A and B are shown apart, each in its own frame.
Chain A
């Protein structure tokens, strides 16, 4: 399990609407915002770092007022345990099944 302390940078004036959107994401917990309302402090939770990346990408996609997401703390002690030397086979990379043909 990965838990972050992260900053969401959002467009000016969009704080309330972003918070409304965030309610749809049970793995994102809001805590506080800056006076300007453009910086929100949240936790993000994910099974692993890959899922965290996906969650960030999903947030940016689905909540257009989110300009950027920055993690300030990431706790992933279980992941390190898994990465230890005793579990060599687990750690070998699995080949993903996709061809990179994104249209940017």
Chain B
């Protein structure tokens, strides 16, 4: 039977779908998948549009990417992809791509230059600034979207070459509190368990996460469980908006933004009162502490006893009965898995909020068992693998180890082949301090005179962003990106970068899983991989020996950088020495660290004997031979985790008479971060063309606001003008605005607050106080604004 090309594509597409769903498919004899679709090759890789780490296959024909399919063998997504996964990559063919290096001229416009001219200029300027103002005058600001090899390389160049710890990245804005939570509770970063716990959990506790939009593939895994066994699976959602995520919940905990510390303590109180606790865990694996002194369990019970459900309801607006039921399900209907993202992290008490979730797991014994884990979902595709694990933050070294630790510095200096004492023991500036310290040479109050920014858009993504524009404008700013952005509008030098599928490399997702993406196609124009740019810069600044992977063969450069990295962390409890490029190329699903040897299968559950190879590696950590579960990174070497008695504290800027509303911000399913890529996919742009403000009908009525009316939303820092979306999803008194929109009137980070957590230094994007007023009748604002040309003028006043 002859089959037309269209029928063949249909059958092949159906076969992929059936394979992902594990459904027998008769049509497979005719259309067995990849060989039948006309592509030159399928290249295995990972999606780059959230932290889930979905496995994909990229179809290439005639040197162009022509299709994407989910990888059914990937253990993250089992073949499923979301709208961004399918469509987002099409932005790589948008005509706004930066194709050539450019340097800003005296008249303010950009001029095309050669790579040699651009790199020589950057190297010369950086060297000059180092000489004039010292080693810390040039900063690096990276991204959780860079490949691991790239972050590692820039980190090595700065800390091992320049001897400067002025290294930061945008994961400071999204994940730092999760890091702080894991490190203070368990002694080391990242979750104990894995996504596979979702299918084994009986109760799922989703906190501060609209995962239906932000992590839709993970949400699908949860929704599927719930759909399959609605009576058996319990879902609790703690979130101030009735999102699509909250709609599948058995129990919704609608606490006002920033008040949930009280809810978590109250849940602990109910668990203790009703004996939904695990005494063995408490006795053997928990250490109760105020953070200053160790106390006993009775002291902890007494502490949480003040958080009665009724008192907490008054404080948070979360119904007491809901808290009681949530505590019952969490404590008595386990195994229980918690998952959270920015609602917990982007807070001035983000670390504490993370600690209190861990508390609930520890006192109920819901960790280090199948289906039981305290799991932070990361927001970006490589915030974990690229930035946290490589230590590309101002206070860290590879292996998420503190730069202040002399032994760690010694080990890293040895691995890097640099003289002892090269690495500065003093941490650099965290992100907010770094941008606050950025300025021109004439400004003595600004010690950082230059910054290299890659794969991120701080001019739009920093909270209270206009405060930092002048520093970006006055400093010598070098930006690596694929498109013009609000940040490139301040750049002095633009270096055109390659998209993930034009270079390849490793991403590490939320569950400690490293996955390799192969290079699929060549970059357009003269765009280059970040790794090449970093290595060329190193060469020009005299650090060729430190960063020797500076050839023109991109895959080979990435392999060399990866090998250097895995050797550097070989003898750490984060070891991924056994995760070689060869293994990643062969593996459909990637590998999870710890994976200390090339024959290790990786680790699904950490801290468990028989499952975590580090438990039996005394050369790395000492674990008693009889211990089955042991938190080996415990700073006191007792194998225990800390259960914290954290006092209640609300938001930095709660609503008051003058600014009576909570403002909270977040993502929407269609758009990614500041919209620089997704807004260039027309179908995505049209489906969500502009930001808006969600208002509860009661508030809308009081302010005489109707759907579509333009609303002025003001904080103490700035204002936006946005169309109203009157919905019951937002509770009275709470407004929500998505943050992807580049339009000046709708850049919500002009309104948000830049107060930050004193431990993690992560800003409180999620909560500030605002007021609203009806501004004008409905107007078409679906303008899908993008910064389209490098010479587009910046719209705002810079002061």
Chain A residues with a Cβ under 8 A of chain B:
1, 3-7, 9, 29, 31-34, 36, 38-39, 41-43, 45, 48-50, 52-53, 67-68, 70-77, 79-81, 83-85, 88, 91-104
Contacts and interface: CB of A to CB of B under 8 A. Distances in A.
A95 B26 contact: no
Given A53-B683, A72-B79, A100 B64 contact: no
Interface string B48-88: 00000000000101001111111010000001110000110
A20 to B, nearest CB: 20
Given A75-B67, A77-B67, A99 B95 contact: no
Contact of A7 (B21, B93, B778): B21
Contact of B26 (A32, A67, A73, A81): A32
Nearest to A86: B95
28 contacts: A3-B6, A3-B10, A4-B17, A5-B15, A7-B20, A32-B23, A39-B23, A49-B681, A50-B682, A70-B220, A72-B20, A72-B72, A75-B13, A76-B66, A76-B67, A80-B93, A85-B97, A85-B524, A93-B784, A96-B686, A97-B780, A98-B780, A98-B782, A99-B778, A100-B725, A101-B778, A103-B707, A104-B727
A34 to B, nearest CB: 5
B690 interface: yes
A73 B69 contact: yes
Contact of B23 (A33, A52, A67, A79): A33
Contact of B708 (A41, A43, A101): A101
A30 B570 CA distance: 51
A79 to B, nearest CB: 7
A37 B727 CA distance: 34
Interface in B143-196: none
A77 B23 contact: no
Contacts of B727: 104
B94 A91 contact: yes
Contacts of A93: 682, 685-686, 784, 786
A32 B27 CA distance: 9
A85 B524 CA distance: 9
Contacts of A76: 66-67, 90
Contacts of A103: 707, 726
B580 to A, nearest CB: 30
A4 B685 contact: no
A38 B729 CA distance: 28
Given A31-B25, A32-B26, A50-B683, A95 B13 contact: no
A9 B227 contact: yes
Contacts of B14: 5, 29, 31-32, 41-43
B37 interface: yes
A7 B12 CA distance: 14
A31 B86 CA distance: 22
Contacts of B692: 100
A48 B683 contact: yes
Contacts of B224: 9
B406 to A, nearest CB: 51
A31 B784 contact: no
Contacts of B786: 93
A73 B23 contact: no
A91 to B, nearest CB: 6
B687 A53 contact: yes
B121 interface: no
Contacts of A100: 689-690, 692, 708, 723, 725, 782
Nearest to B97: A85
Contact of A73 (B25, B70, B95, B683): B70
Contacts of A83: 90, 93-94
Contacts of A99: 708, 723, 778-782
A45 B6 CA distance: 10
B701 to A, nearest CB: 14
Nearest to B726: A103
B252 interface: no
Contacts of B93: 80, 83-85, 91
B298 interface: no
Contact of A41 (B23, B59, B779, B783): B23
A72 B72 CA distance: 9
Interface centre among A1, A5, A34, A74 (most CB of B within 10 A): A5
B618 interface: no
Interface string B698-731: 0000000001100000000000000101111100
Nearest to A76: B67
B221 to A, nearest CB: 11
Contacts of B9: 3, 75
A53 B670 CA distance: 11
B24 interface: yes
B782 to A, nearest CB: 5
A104 B700 CA distance: 14
B222 interface: no
Given A70-B220, A97-B780, A41 B25 contact: yes
Interface string B207-238: 00000000000001001100110000000000
A74 B59 CA distance: 10
A74 B683 CA distance: 14
B23 A74 contact: no
A68 B27 contact: no
A33 B14 CA distance: 11
Give 6 closest A-B pairs by Cβ, nearest first.
A5-B13, A101-B708, A5-B17, A77-B66, A49-B683, A88-B95
Contacts of A4: 13, 17
A67 B20 contact: no
Interface string B244-255: 000000000000
B673 to A, nearest CB: 18
Given A3-B6, A70-B80, A72-B72, 5 more contacts: A49-B683, A83-B94, A95-B782, A99-B708, A101-B778
B80 A72 contact: yes
A83 to B, nearest CB: 4
Given A97-B780, A103-B707, A73 B94 contact: no
Contacts of B682: 50, 91, 93-94
A41 B756 CA distance: 48
A99 to B, nearest CB: 5
A49 B87 contact: yes
Contacts of B13: 3-5, 43, 72-75
B17 A41 contact: yes
Nearest to B692: A100
B51 to A, nearest CB: 19
Contacts of B65: 80
Contacts of A32: 14, 18, 23-27
B69 A80 contact: no
A31 to B, nearest CB: 4
Given A29-B10, A83-B93, A72 B16 contact: yes
Given A31-B14, A93-B682, A38 B21 contact: no
A39 B21 CA distance: 8
B621 to A, nearest CB: 41
A99 B707 CA distance: 10
A27 to B, nearest CB: 11
A102 B707 CA distance: 7
B23 A34 contact: yes
A5 B16 contact: yes
A103 B24 CA distance: 41
B178 to A, nearest CB: 28
A104 B683 contact: no
Contacts of A7: 17, 20-21, 80
A84 B95 CA distance: 8
B524 A96 contact: no
B90 A80 contact: yes
A43 B25 CA distance: 13
Nearest to B70: A72
Interface string B543-569: 000000000000000000000000000
